[in-house]
Amino acid sequence: MSEDLPLDTVVALLDDEYARSILTATRTEAMSANELTDHCDASLSTICRRLEQLEAANLVRERTRPRADGHHDTIYVATLEEFRLRLDDEGFTFNLRYRDEDAADRLKRLWGDL
């Protein structure tokens, strides 16, 4: 999915209780899939499926969290700031506004482009 998401894709994602719970939880704190299973009271497979859909729609972003043991965790943070839906003579239109990315996110995106 790209930034030119169809309205039905956005609405379907936001209609899902687990997707909404993931977005709400990761808005203020980056969380791993395992942490989200506890927070959302859902199975790991359900959380992973929703995270995949949300990431494809650019509504969450993946990050890496280093651990003291030298390993790392994959964590997720919500990128969606606002969803606006408008009805006019030509039908429905919508706008998504994303949270500003921080310096680490910009560096990761730029490095990935190389």
* pLDDT average, residue stretch 6-12: 93
Give me the residue spans of the domains in the chain.
7-113
Task: Write out pLDDT tens, residues 82-109.
Answer: 999 999 999 999 999 998 866 566 666 5
CATH number assigned to the domain with residue range 7-113, chosen from the 4 options 1.10.10.10, 1.10.760.10, 3.40.50.850, 3.40.640.10? 1.10.10.10
What would the 3-class secondary structure string for the chain be? Answer: CCCCCCHHHHHHHHHCHHHHHHHHHHHHCCEEHHHHHHHHCCCHHHHHHHHHHHHHCCCEEEEEEECCCCCEEEEEEECEEEEEEEEECCEEEEEEEECCCCHHHHHHHHHHHC
Any idea which of 29-33, 66-70, 72-76 has the lowest mean pLDDT?
66-70
Task: Write out pLDDT tens, residues 25-56.
Answer: 999 999 999 999 999 999 999 999 999 999 99
